[in-house]
A and B are shown apart, each in its own frame.
Chain A
């Protein structure tokens, strides 16, 4: 049976046959013109079919190093030989200094070759001096000298040892010595040889022929029908391709969108509110006293333009004033201070999206309502690895006659479950506008550390009664950058806003 082979396979097998069934891979490449990796792929395939055997041997390639090149150029002999000559002539002990003088070198160089003088049997130690060894024969050339001569004589700039020499331990020791003296460099090279097996010979005697292969199916081939006679070159399907990434949403946006989706899934209506807000809605409507530290210039951005907003209708402002001062109609003691309308008119960049949800309570006090808002908030911070002057929050409220602190915990549990956090922990926390209040912690599956992601609670009567709400209002404000950092395991919050393309490309949609 005549076998059809690909062009490369055909060429390799034919060349192997022509060279008597035995050929080094380098010769294969040189003689067939097929490139190294393709030739190797063919050989590997043949070997798997048992047509050929591949043998591999390691051979050492030696070349002159800096010292060695200088040595060859000078035509001198090794320093220990010159020192031995000097010892023989002197015929009595010589100190290293004397040896240096006699050989025209220096004491340091002599110090370095002392051990060769003794190792090669040229000399023996006599205290600090050396003396000629009577058994020595300077006519015998030492193995390292022989090796250096071979290297010098070699027509190439390097000397390739054969396999047996390469594995000769004594020779390896000598090479190591010369290498450490800076005379030569050595490198291991792998040599492969292929040899036809009996099966291979049978294949050849059955006969082989070359099959024409094509890389790419073309329109012309399809139009002419030429594809019917063509065979297509196989791909190595395991080879890597250049990386390609789809355009995608920013990782933080994905967290924001999942957050929106989670609350929409739970039947919440989405709202929004202004970034630039009066202190009235950001603080006063939330029963945050006007001397509360969070309201100080140090923590909150106040605006120079615009610097004042109109307050809502007078009746509401009056209700809020009284609530702050003495509790008004709410049954509270109030904060017992003099409330200032001027402070409430100040313009701030909202410090929390609770400013949005509390305003929504005033607009839509009738239950049942489930409302949420995802948006940016601003805190007066300078940028570092832990802080940004703005970040995203999700705030939500539930206005419902059946709402309770337990249903607040249930809603937050349901939200975080949708976000992939099965473990949620609640602990008392304290906010001026909720009672009871709770801190919310989550933990990644299998992780040890809890992360606090926000606060929640039941709005105080001082907050909801002025809005005209008669039923419990559950409220929460959760930080989303923190959640994104837990999700993407980021240490530095700034990374979220640097939008490094590598990071955008590599952060997979599945994360």
Chain B
């Protein structure tokens, strides 16, 4: 999870008071944010470009400006501006609205009851138009725009704005896949703007972070750092999305890069923002979160709608709409139900106050004694149901204030039979001086078959996307892994007696589901050990588990001939026991004889629905 750093002075200035680190920690904890700690960052300005960076005290100055890609000797490139105190925290994907100084301040003001209820974001009527061309439908069909005026960005503000975009790209937009944001100098644009597509070689513009040469979209996708990083998002599309103004000045090629001419600088007062993407919901949430956070970040700024002209697309007729709508959603909460779900006791007035502290609008529902009408801010991405607001209520109340209790109703404990059986088998082997080992259920053909000198019988569950060749299938036998563990324990003294009791998974052709079987496998490694030693063990298990076994000689390429037996229970084969063949011992680089066994305990378990649960009987509790 990305870690973000918010300058404490930016928070305090917006809050109008200095929080102690304890207060800050308490507020973040209450919101469920992972605090990474408080620290200092060193702030530098890139001399040629004016871009600001912040580095950890132990980080070295980069030879290249990460924002503008200007290169130089670090000492000459960077001007040290001083240290800044920051609070570091993990980015929480469900709450992208609190990961900038503006949004976080809004939330903390609520918790502190300094400012509660829905924050108001008045919008001016549109003065700019955007025409959407139908050709974007197959590439990146969604778009929303806004204008924000009177920003007065300084270099710190510019950096915060850039970080805000980055965070939204990560948390909401799945790294620009679902949506991507562009911010532009409004004065560099002549409206109306067109959102359309263009052939990959059909236009040239100067991208941000470049040497100032006008290049084609294809050149950007092939050579520009941002182009190569995000080219996969436009793969398979001969025409790429493009925002362009009345005088054919390119604004950007979403979701890759903006043009150099429309870049935002510390001179910028007014900006145009766009969010394009493939998900309507995410584009809208991104736009709303971006606009509201910018209004919080830059006090005194005002937002203005943009008149959007959509063609007939998505099986919908052509339409014209002013965005952002900043539409809010309303939910009805039953206070009794909410209190019961949380396990606390609140009056309706208390609940209303707590919801307002979470920056919702809340008021008593007319005509009801215990309902609340809640209006949710447009930047909240995570409210789908009344229960989401009940959680906000619990958070505002404070988890630490909720008194833990136990459910009052009696239920009866019940153990699974295969767990009881496995433990009985463990008890027997431990009593015989064996140590239990544990290995992964994931294995590989090399281990399961090649080590054992057998062919793949084709009855294993296979992975489609293994992360490593070592784990590409589910094991069908424990024994190969047990042999590996004997090899790992080479030189750790003798005798070695190891066993494992756990599941294997077998998928027989023609059956709908793989079957999971409880197996028991063990072995003895010693200077002298033989078939009769291991048969004594399987006989002991047979006795303790009530599983009389019969033995027939078997030829198995992993075992010494004449010293291995197949084990039968009720005339069905259930396992194998014997002395491991020296060929296998050599592969494992073991220099002592090893006698082993593996038995399926599955026949001891009833074969009915393994996953059924007997409904537990309630005692004296009938009204449901």
Contact = CB atoms under 8 A, between A and B. Distances in A.
B438 A252 contact: yes
Contact of A333 (B385, B431, B514): B385
A250 B430 contact: no
Interface size class of B (residues with CB under 8 A): 35 or more
Contact of B409 (A272, A383, A402): A402
A247 B434 contact: yes
B402 A269 contact: no
B395 interface: yes
Given A247-B430, A359-B611, A406-B404, A426 B461 contact: no
Interface stretch (B119-127, B360-368, B466-474): B466-474
A267 B437 CA distance: 30
Interface residues of A, number: 105
Given A246-B430, A264-B415, A302 B437 contact: no
Nearest to B437: A499
Contact of A368 (B388, B411, B461): B411
Contacts of B349: none
Interface string B595-624: 000000000000000111111101001001
Interface in B498-535: 498, 503, 505, 507, 512-514, 516
A331 B389 CA distance: 13
A406 B391 contact: no
Interface string B363-402: 0000000000000000000101111101100110001101
B513 A274 contact: yes
A413 B404 contact: yes
Interface string A373-414: 000101011110000111000000010111111110111111
B514 A306 contact: yes
B463 A349 contact: yes
A336 B403 contact: no
A257 B426 CA distance: 12
Interface stretch (B24-32, B134-142, B235-243, B259-267): B24-32
Contacts of B474: 275-276, 349
A89 B95 CA distance: 99
Given A267-B411, A438-B399, A472-B341, A367 B624 contact: yes
A502 interface: yes
A271 B406 contact: no
Interface stretch (B40-48, B65-73, B150-158, B485-493): B485-493
A247 B429 contact: yes
B336 to A, nearest CB: 12
Nearest to A373: B416
Interface string A266-286: 111111111110000000000
> Quick one: which of A267, A293, A336, A407 has the most chain B CB within 10 A?
A267
A436 B438 contact: no
B414 A502 contact: no
A404 B343 contact: yes
B438 A406 contact: no
B404 A303 contact: no
B19 interface: no
A290 interface: no
B384 A332 contact: yes
B399 A428 contact: yes
A409 B489 CA distance: 43
Contact of A405 (B343, B442, B497): B343
Given A253-B436, A349-B463, A270 B32 contact: no
B435 A504 contact: yes
B162 interface: no
B543 interface: no
Interface in B300-358: 329, 340-344
B114 interface: no
Contacts of A293: 174
A371 interface: yes
A40 interface: no
Contacts of A414: 406
Contacts of B30: 428
A237 interface: no
A335 B383 CA distance: 11
A476 B375 CA distance: 30
B281 interface: yes
Contacts of B441: 275, 376, 390
A465 to B, nearest CB: 11
A455 to B, nearest CB: 11
A499 B93 CA distance: 38
A439 interface: yes
B58 interface: no
A501 B489 contact: yes
A310 interface: yes
Contact of A388 (B395, B402, B407, B440): B440
A176 interface: no
Contact of A271 (B31, B407, B416, B468): B416
Contact of B405 (A249, A327, A336, A406): A406
B419 interface: yes
Nearest to A438: B399
B187 interface: no
Nearest to B621: A368
A337 B418 CA distance: 42
Contacts of A267: 410-413
Contacts of B342: 404-406, 436
A389 B438 contact: no
B222 interface: no
Given A303-B463, A501-B493, A368 B613 contact: no
B407 A368 contact: yes
Contact of A380 (B408, B436, B460, B465): B465
Contacts of A496: 438
25 contacts: A248-B436, A264-B414, A272-B418, A273-B611, A274-B514, A274-B516, A275-B516, A276-B507, A297-B464, A302-B464, A305-B460, A306-B507, A333-B329, A333-B384, A336-B280, A364-B615, A366-B615, A405-B343, A405-B402, A406-B402, A407-B406, A410-B404, A428-B399, A436-B390, A436-B391
Q: Which 3 pairs between the two chains have the least Cβ-Cβ distance?
A: A406-B343, A428-B32, A404-B343
Given A271-B613, A436-B387, 5 more contacts: A246-B430, A270-B419, A390-B442, A406-B342, A428-B391
Interface of A: 246-250, 252-253, 257, 260, 263-276, 293, 297, 301-307, 309-310, 327, 330-337, 349, 356, 359-360, 363-364, 366-371, 376, 378, 380-383, 388-390, 398, 400-407, 409-414, 426-430, 435-439, 458, 460-462, 470-472, 496-502, 504-505
